Structure 1
Amino acid sequence: MSESTARSAALVLAALAVACGKPVDPSGKEDATFTKASMAGAPAPSGEDRPLSAELAVEPVSMLVTFNRLKTADKLQEALNKKPGQFSHIDLDKDTNPDPLTVADRATKDGHAFEIRVRPATGEFVVATMLFDPEWSYLGHYDGVMGGAASTTARPLPVAPQPGAPPVAPPVVATPPAVVPSAAPTQVAAPVAPAPGAPAIAEAPAPAPGVAGAVQAAPAAGAQPVTPTKP
């Protein structure tokens, strides 16, 4: 950004800081959760309860939208992640690397709104909601959801699902197939050798072919016995 552009941005933001009041809550009072656009450079809060937006360069991000004409969520998100750590130092998963940022449009009747989010490995959380007037001049931001609670480093606000959005199904974990142990092969028992000195057991001779055991066939009824002739 050139010096003349930066000077113009400072003048615009300073004018907005004087002319623009805070949004009001339902009771008609100024919304205390809204931070008005300012170039005063107030010191960033510290401690675990500090807003998550304290780790985000909100004013430079607003200049990207107003002066670089990054007026869509996709274009702004691409610019914020081009150089990690340039606009944000948020590191919720404590891996020493700045977490990537995401941007979503938010409906507002008074102009435009971008919800800046952070996406560490543990999920997606709201950082801030930035408001712009109909001509894309920056008005200020909420330290969390628009008109809602603040998101702090100790208690970051998770991104709520949009109305009508289909529920996210839990991941399906594949169950490994059960392993059925195969049947052990049948082993034939080896013949047992006789003990030394034991008497040998003779095996019974096999019967002769055509003879049923040791029984001789009887002659038929009425038949005369055959006398063997002498030679």
Structure 2
Amino acid sequence: MANVPVKERVKVSQNWRLGRCREGILLKWRCSQMPWMQLEGDSLYISQANFILAYQFRPDGASLNRRPLGVFAGHDEDVCHFVLANSHIISAGGDGKIGVHKIHSTFTVKYSAHEQEVNCVDCRGGIIVSGSRDRTAKVWPLASGRLGQCLHTIQTEDRVWSIAISPLLSSFVTGTACCGHFSPLRIWDLNSGQLMMHLGSDFPPGAGVLDVMYESPSTLLSCGYDTYVRYWDLRASVR
């Protein structure tokens, strides 16, 4: 929503408040899918099995051109998650690999990142962070000559479901399954990999954090299996 003009955001917020919507089917598959999607301008990027497809919206804004603009491949198993950053797509695969794809060329590199599936990735300021079922989070450089060189490996003691880098590029947050560790939300120093703080307390077992997002350098949104959406102010006491 950050790239949407303020006038359009007000219009959308009114439609949400009043329950106005228009239903339509953009894409259909023969097999059941749980795709990851990201809207960027007039293009929709969506994962399908071990591919990422880019579709362009038609001028009416309500339907997609059926022929994809681009197809980004390279994983041996399903794409679990991806992000768009700096004209790249960074993808996380069930094969334990991270893929780096240039949006406007055929350049694609993949490298082994984790011992089990990579559930989540984020990328800002030339840095990639990843989280995995193998109970680790890792930090990687995006620079083409250093792809696949791990900068830090962090033992999270729990499966990592979500991850996000702070807009200040000084830290990142992990959301875990809340099965092997008492706090599913923790913030780590991006330069050293050291734990900085954990957020909240008294999470019930299994209250895993499915997604996290920074709204600003000091505010954070999280959501999870316990059905709550939480809004965190990192300037306040969070322990």
**TM-score under structure 2 normalisation?**
0.22
> Which structure would you say has the larger RCO, counting Cα contacts within 8 Å and 6 or more residues apart?
1
Q: Which has the higher Rg, Structure 1 or Structure 2?
A: 1
Higher helix fraction (1 or 2): 1
